[in-house]
Chain A
Amino acid sequence: MALEIRDIHKHFGPVRANDGVSITVGEGSLHGILGENGAGKSTLMKILSGFYEADSGAVVLDGEVLTLRSPADAIAVGIGMLHQDPLVFLPFTVLDNFVLGSPGPVRLDRSNARTELERVSTELGFSFDPAALARDLTVGERQQLEITRLIWLGARVLIFDEPTTGISATQRIQLFATLRALAEHGMIVLFVSHKLEEVEELCDSVTVIRRGKVVFEAPMPVAPELLVEEMFGKVFVADEREPVALGGPVLRLESVSVDDGKTHLDALDFEGAAGEVVGLAGLEGSGQRTLLRACAGLLTPTAGHLSVDGVDLTHVSYRGHLAVGVHYLPAGRLEEGLVEGISVTEHLVLTSHDRRFLVDWKGAEAAADRVIDEYSIKGRPSSPAEALSGGNQQRLLLAMIPEDVRLLLLEHPTRGLDVESAAFVWKRLLERRTDGATIIFASADLEELLTYSDRIVVFFGGSVFAVRDTASTDGEELGYLIGGKERV
């Protein structure tokens, strides 16, 4: 069995998302498809799985040219896709999610389906409670459920689109083991990612896509520098960060207690100095977000005192925090950070300090053009926020940070961004540090924490578990601390 993608073309308006892509993958192969955000990998996978129809070109499986008009066609020939956000039905049970869309008689035989679910999931080494609701599963378990379903439907080619977004480290290890096992059983596994290290760790061979074209193909291992060069078209060097002399304290927390309904932080003392970068580490929901939101003024502390530049902000509203130079960039860029449906220009007008009644749209558009240029945002002044890719949304958010910011609070500042965008984001952020701002950021990426922080605060189970100077710790120790253990 071999999968052959022949000269696929697909354009959206003037954008050539796929411009003559050809890839051949053999049986039992774990093949990585690597490329930066917007390179055209997702489009190609959606063509393979029947979501899109290609403008021209062919997909050939086992020497047979396939007609892929809809996902139904793809499933029928054994091509299954696991989407970045697993497409499960949250209020439905695991069992109903498993059978939904499967062929069979009108009357649904749930007891038979339960047996099948058990059989296939056991073969794959998963275990499910068929009666549990999908919403109570973790993202990793939802993926397992989808894998089980696709295998049951007879998938021979499995496509994984950025499957490691939003799952824990343990689940990632388990997922990778599953993918290897699937390939060993003779399946074709396509692993789509923009994360170099994952492709290095997992894949037997790799195809790099850049601007809709295949630019590189080779069996693994391949030198990482070479892959980076192929992905971005130039060798990328992370900027060495210059040391900045720390100033006086900007943020001060005195035995602050705060509760967001899920996590409770108790009697927390903390200080952030001017020019300091503090990284917040920990498993999701350990208290990092609670701290950030308390500092931003979105949660009111139940006890203690919180001040910025000596101004007591304990019971001051979000607006009051903004007034003294506190700025918060939430993880949900489109949900909380930007407004869906309004353009880049309009966003910049919303955050400008211009208090005139009438908006000078000409001037605003010119200003937007300048910002787009300065932050290399791929988009036009009239592009609505949701039309920008994740990296470009983050660039727009950066552009919206006021000049005189004193305390910058960031939640997963580079999540989902490719290496180049992430480096850009940090370059811009570190500039603020030189101006004497304090930066506090939460991240799940240990490398990011170690590269950019002066100090790392590790949260565990709703309290500060450890504080380390970045110079005196390493990734291994952080791994232990995040898990709530001291290094042995």
Chain B
Amino acid sequence: MENTLNSIIAAAAPLVIMTMGESITEKSGVVNLSLEGSLRLSAMTGFAVAFWAGHAFAGFVAAAVVGAAIAAIIAATSIRLRLNQIAVGFVLTLLAADLASFLGDSLVGERGPRVPPLPIPVLSDIPFVGKVLFDHDLVVYASFLAIAVTWWHFYRTRSGLNLQGVGERPEGAFARGIKVNTLRFWYTVLGGAMVGIAGAAYSLDIKLGWRETLTLNLGWIALAIVIFGGWHPLRVAFGAYLFGALQVMAFQLQDVFPGLAQVLPIAPFPLMILALVFVYSSWFRRIGDRLPRVRNLFGSEAPAALGTVFERE
């Protein structure tokens, strides 16, 4: 049991970092749709740089730069040129994914450095909890930190409130003296860097090595999890762990129920759709009107200005 939980948390760590990054970006009102491509290109770049430099850390830095650069293109074309974020994001997805396959061809099958395990002394000796939470490596601890900091920033800091304002009603934020487009640009870049780090985590920590199908579909899954989680860091994290659990279960059940093992990884999608149908039902709305706390817990409302361009008229 504790081993299973340990693997779920480890398996979900990159997904957690990526979904936190995308949550930050989308809260500011920008959609970075390029996740699938960004992830693949940064996984490849991260592996390549770590392979040549002989050190995993260099790979993470390079991957973060790649993710940030792709995000910067989306933010800049949206803000400066008023291009559609969805269109640019989609084109970048295709471009980055193909670029990764093309550039990374010679790396397939190579073995590179890996992130060393780092059990936390004392804490990892606590029975059960120690094994589940504190017997991991830096990537996993970073995923914990990402959840906590994202949540704290959104709901407990002034800049987090400003960030939400920018994504909700940019003209209102602007009227209050907030630099809407500057914030949007940097939060998008930050979110992109986190996607890049997640990419490197797949090739240097989870799977060790680069191949084309390493991160297949995980970018799309991350986008869906952010929506399913209602742009709330804790619920988004829950979604990421749920997906991680299904992945680990599928892996463990492979020999026993081969059929079920194939179905499990796609189970989250119908679940997400059902959850959204539930949240948008009039029945739930009536409950929400009576119990605001319940509404706040489950209600998922997209930032109202998501995907739009803000111009000072």
Contacts and interface: CB of A to CB of B under 8 A. Distances in A.
Given A70-B177, A106-B158, A107-B157, A101 B313 contact: no
A83 interface: yes
Contacts of B141: none
A104 B158 CA distance: 8
Nearest to B160: A108
B172 A88 contact: yes
A238 interface: no
Interface in A101-132: 101-102, 104-108
Interface in B157-201: 157-162, 164-165, 168-169, 171-179
Interface residues of A, number: 29
A108 B161 contact: yes
Nearest to A110: B156
Contacts of A91: 168, 301, 304
Nearest to A76: B177
Nearest to A99: B161
Contacts of B176: 71, 75, 87, 100-102
A72 B178 CA distance: 7
A52 B175 contact: no
A51 B312 contact: yes
B313 A89 contact: no
Interface string B271-313: 0000000000000000000001000000001001000000011
Contacts of A49: 175
B312 A100 contact: no
B114 to A, nearest CB: 36
A100 B165 contact: yes
A92 interface: yes
Interface in A72-99: 72-73, 75-76, 81, 83, 87-92, 96, 99
Contacts of A87: 169, 171-172, 175-176
Nearest to B178: A101
Contacts of B168: 89-92
Given A52-B313, A71-B175, A71-B177, A89 B158 contact: no
A96 B161 contact: yes
Most chain-B Cβ atoms within 10 A of its Cβ — which of A90, A91, A105? A91
A104 B176 CA distance: 14
A192 to B, nearest CB: 16
Contacts of B175: 49, 51, 71, 81, 83, 87
A96 B159 CA distance: 12
Interface in B128-164: 156-162, 164
A89 B169 contact: yes
B20 to A, nearest CB: 19
Nearest to A109: B158
B157 to A, nearest CB: 5
Contacts of B164: 89, 92
A152 to B, nearest CB: 12
B83 to A, nearest CB: 17
B177 A72 contact: yes
A92 B304 CA distance: 12
B177 A108 contact: no
Given A92-B164, A108-B156, A101 B173 contact: yes
Contacts of A102: 158, 176
Contacts of B165: 89, 92, 100-101
Nearest to A80: B175
Contacts of B177: 70-73, 75-76, 101
Contact of A107 (B158, B172, B173, B174): B158
Interface in A423-455: none
A101 B180 CA distance: 11
Contacts of A105: 158
A133 B301 CA distance: 14
Contact of A99 (B158, B174, B304): B158
Nearest to B155: A108
Contacts of A89: 164-165, 168-169, 172
Contacts of B301: 91
B261 to A, nearest CB: 41
B159 to A, nearest CB: 6
Interface in A148-187: none
A132 to B, nearest CB: 9
A91 to B, nearest CB: 6
A75 B171 CA distance: 15
A76 B177 CA distance: 9
Nearest to A132: B292
Interface in B203-244: none
- Ranked nearest first, the 7 interchain pairs of A and B with the lowest CB-CB distance are A101-B176, A72-B177, A87-B172, A89-B168, A108-B158, A100-B165, A87-B175
17 contacts: A70-B174, A72-B179, A76-B177, A83-B175, A88-B169, A89-B168, A91-B301, A91-B304, A92-B168, A99-B161, A101-B162, A106-B157, A107-B157, A108-B156, A108-B157, A108-B160, A133-B292
Given A72-B179, A73-B177, A107-B156, 18 more contacts: A49-B175, A70-B177, A71-B174, A75-B176, A83-B175, A87-B171, A87-B172, A87-B175, A87-B176, A89-B164, A92-B165, A101-B162, A101-B165, A101-B176, A101-B177, A101-B178, A102-B176, A107-B157
